[in-house]
């Protein structure tokens, strides 16, 4: 039997790795990948807490965390689509996707 | 204390998840980073399955492996190879934030008084889908509509951003 804290340690490691990537990398697509890792860490936490029945159950099982995880996965897909389109658009203007070199705003 | 099959499966999935996340952040090649993200998603789906959320693990594989990673892979092919950032200050800031976030979260988990002996509650797939659909339609109908609108707006916006204007030159 696996204690719930083990799942949360995995989630904490994923969250810390995502923050590390977001802070230290300057490639736009790599930063997007880090954001996806952070969102996955949040999902793992929500699903573990719900599945272990930490929340009170009234009559029927309470699966609110699973529903939230579904919403998060949907939003993550939208975010990836917009982020990658932005990367293509930025590359067309600046010929680079290094965010350190993208300083000027122009039409 | 002897290890059961469940413990071994959990251990290997957890190690695979964290190792693939490290590779996704640190791989030199962006294609390898995207592939590592895919492996991380698949092992995370395995963890969801162990938590009695089988439909969610299928959903995770469908969205991440099917949509997000393939989108990233096709976009990466449009760009030249990744030039290394190579700034020491960036690395120091990254490692500092990594350590701080990890210490804060691990302290929080360790300090919490978890109820001992709680195990995941098994749930029938029919009950799961009935409960989740009634939750979606009765308790969270507005977030569902907002999510649908967000997805529609995001994909229209993505197409508008990425399409080439006439005479804007080749890409």
User: Smallest Cβ distance to B118: which of A4, A16, A26?
Assistant: A4
Asked if the C-beta of B40 comes within 8 angstroms of chain A's C-beta atoms, the answer is yes
Tell me whether residue B80 is exposed, middle or buried, using C-beta atoms within 10 angstroms of its C-beta: 0 to 12, 13 to 18, 19 or more: exposed
* Cβ–Cβ under 8 Å, residues A57 and A63: no
Distance from CA of A105 to the nearest CA of B (A): 15
pLDDT at A56 exceeding the cut of 60: no
pLDDT, tens digit (0-9, with 9 covering 90-100), for B78-102? 887 766 666 788 889 999 999 999 9
Asked if the C-beta of A78 comes within 8 angstroms of chain B's C-beta atoms, the answer is yes
pLDDT computed for residue B117 by the predictor: 74
A38-47 burial: b if 16+ Cβ within 10 Å, else e: bbbbbbbbbb
All residues of chain B having their beta carbon less than 8 Å from the beta carbon of residue A69 are 53, 56
pLDDT-derived band of residue B104, with 50, 70 and 90 as boundaries?
very high
Interface ipTM: 0.89
pLDDT, tens digit (0-9, with 9 covering 90-100), for B66-79? 999 999 999 888 88
Distance from CA of A64 to the nearest CA of B (A): 7
* C-alpha–C-alpha distance, residues B93 and B103, integer Å: 15
Most confident of A28-32, A79-83, A98-102, B16-20: B16-20
pLDDT at A50 exceeding the cut of 60: yes
């Amino acid at each position: 039997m696996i204690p719930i804290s083990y799942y949360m340690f995995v989630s904490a490691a994923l969250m810390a790795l995502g923050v590390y990537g977001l802070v230290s990398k300057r490639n736009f697509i790599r930063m997007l990948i880090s954001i996806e890792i952070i969102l996955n860490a949040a999902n793992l936490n929500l699903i573990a807490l719900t599945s272990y029945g930490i929340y009170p159950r009234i009559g029927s099982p309470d699966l609110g965390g699973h529903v939230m995880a579904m919403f998060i996965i949907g939003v993550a897909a939208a975010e990836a689509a917009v982020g990658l389109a932005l990367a293509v658009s930025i590359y067309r203007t600046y010929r680079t996707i290094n965010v350190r070199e993208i300083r000027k705003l122009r039409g | 204390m002897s290890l059961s099959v469940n413990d071994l499966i959990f251990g290997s999935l957890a190690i695979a998840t964290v190792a693939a996340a490290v590779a996704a952040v640190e791989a030199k090649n962006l294609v390898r980073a995207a592939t590592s993200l895919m492996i991380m998603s698949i092992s995370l789906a395995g963890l969801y399955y162990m938590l009695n959320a089988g439909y969610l693990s299928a959903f995770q594989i469908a969205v991440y492996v099917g949509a997000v990673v393939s989108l990233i892979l096709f976009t990466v092919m449009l760009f030249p190879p990744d030039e290394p950032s190579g700034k020491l200050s960036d690395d120091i800031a990254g490692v500092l934030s990594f350590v701080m976030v990890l210490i804060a979260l691990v302290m929080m988990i360790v300090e919490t008084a978890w109820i001992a002996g709680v195990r995941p509650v098994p749930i029938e797939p029919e009950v799961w889908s009935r409960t989740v659909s009634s939750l979606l339609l009765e308790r969270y109908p507005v977030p569902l509509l907002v999510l649908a609108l967000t997805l529609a707006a995001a994909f229209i916006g993505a197409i508008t951003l990425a399409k080439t204007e006439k005479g804007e030159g080749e890409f």
